[in-house]
Amino acid sequence: MKISIDRLIFSIAITGLMFTSIACSKNRLDVINPNQVTDSKYWKSEADALAGLYGIYDAFQTNQFTGKLYREFDNVSDNAITISGANWAEIESSFHTPITGRVLNAWTAYYTVVNRANLVIDRVTAMEPGTISDESRKRILAEAFFLKAYVYLDLTTLWGNVPLYDHSLSTFDNGNAASDKADIVAAMVLGLKDNVIPNLPVNIPATEKGRIGRGAAVALLGKYYLFNNDYSNAATTLADLMTAPYTYNLYPKYDELFTQTGEFSKESLFEINFESGGIDNGESFSIRIDTNVTPLVPQAYWRPTDQLVNSYLCTDGKPIANSTVYGAASPLYNASNPFTNRDPRFRATVFTNLDNTPGGKKVWAYTNNIKFAPKKYSMITSTQYNGGPQNYYMIRYAEVLLMYAEAQNEAVGADASVYTAINKVRARAGMPDCPAGLNKDVMRSYIRDERRWEFALEHQRYFDILRWRIADQVIPPVGGVKAFTNPRDYLWPYPQNEMDNNPALKSQGQNTGWQ
């Protein structure tokens, strides 16, 4: 049975002690309830240390992070488009500023994780001998650092140079100036290599599902190398995950993977737990189609772009423009179902007007203006939930394979191991192998496309097109809705609230191009 992180989080009595959400809120006075447990009376047992650790996981569960908005990073890429709502609209149209709410909320969500992780690291390190075993201490410290390292990869991708914190901050502590991205990356890589990977178990017991295993840390280390163009180290690191003692594999059915049935499979290296019911246990990213009230428009506030839909290959491995199994010229063409003979990941990811409930009802109210809707992480059910019950995937084995393929291709070219890695992902989807004899440049295009299709409507695409420096080339110009200002938009502005409350950061000035 999976861990319900919220239910294991330590008592609300100490929440005020742990969860100062952002480093520099100097102007806010936290009033401590005299009935709360004081910090001096906590951190006295392994149970206390575990409760603190689960508080870090809890910071991932908010709607500003994986509970809802993390997967919607696709809105500011070429994969999806905002229909209504303010969460992404300003960034998507390149009208965002340092006071844009999503900029501040993302920053706050990430630094909440950082501060909680640092508090656990500080307090668990200082726990008296005999209050916690050495093995448990090292494992908890390793998990806390991993979770911090995960968000620092996002922070440095979005903002570049950001404040690096090694210790927890109280409400009245001054914030740090921004450190060079290279220094942050070096610190995270060193910590993962020396203190995280050696102290995490290879296998997670069934009673601890949701905690971090060694494989996730190895994958994150490889991702750090890849995202910072150290291709040789990335390939070497990621290759380790394909051999013993690791036993990862792709889940057989791509569409079923994004349901509760697919949770904690051999494909999952790191996922965030959610459970329906109770207070704040569930998520808001999954789509529940109530069969009693269909048709409707699932998650009508965003939709996949035509560019994403048209990019999926046909089952013969060719684009729709020249495939022999697509379009009216094909003997297999069915005018009532123009989406046949396409990469199966397309229909697993996107709702079309052809989707029906098991009872034969149309799933959604298709219109000419809104032709597609998000389908990944959907459930067709009449059961109503107090928060969705599905877990969110942070690192999958498919990503390990495609990261390895990318790194190895950049390091040495399209050798046999690159083909093996990418073709495993394509084979799971029911697609043919990549053509033989591709050079590095052509294989690079195949790998980038494969990442787009494999992780569409997850959180990956925007981070990819930023690090590849192609966002200005691929984001479709849609008047007043989609735009990308090059080069300014390759880094987000520091939130004005943080600049106002952090004199050290303010003295350094905004990211280039921002006022």
What parts of the chain have a pLDDT lower than 70?
1-40, 278-279, 294, 296-297, 329, 331-337, 368, 384
**Ramachandran angles phi, psi of 184, nearest 5°:** -65, -45
pLDDT of res. 279 = 67
What is the C-alpha separation between 213 and 117, in angstroms, rounded?
17
pLDDT of res. 170 = 83
What is the identity of the amino acid at 164? Answer: L
pLDDT of res. 6 = 40
Tokens read off for 408: 């190895």
What is the C-alpha separation between 305 and 311, in angstroms, rounded?
10
CATH code linked to domain 5-280+493-508:
1.25.40.390
Burial of 215 (0-12, 13-18, 19+ CB in 10 A): buried
Domain range list for the chain? 5-280+493-508, 287-387, 413-483
Contact 346, 339 (CB under 8 A): yes
**Ramachandran angles phi, psi of 2, nearest 5°:** -75, 155
What is the C-alpha separation between 213 and 203, in angstroms, rounded?
6
Instruction: Work out whether strand 373-374 and strand 350-351 pair parallel, antiparallel, or are unpaired.
Output: antiparallel
pLDDT of res. 2 = 45
Identify which of 216, 197, 210, 203 has the alpha carbon closest to the alpha carbon of residue 247. 203
**Location of structure tokens 């005020």:** 16
pLDDT of res. 172 = 81
What is the pTM (predicted TM-score) of this model?
0.93
Phi/psi-derived region of residue 485, left when phi > 0, alpha when psi is between -120 and 50, beta in every other case: beta
pLDDT of res. 194 = 98
pLDDT of res. 332 = 65
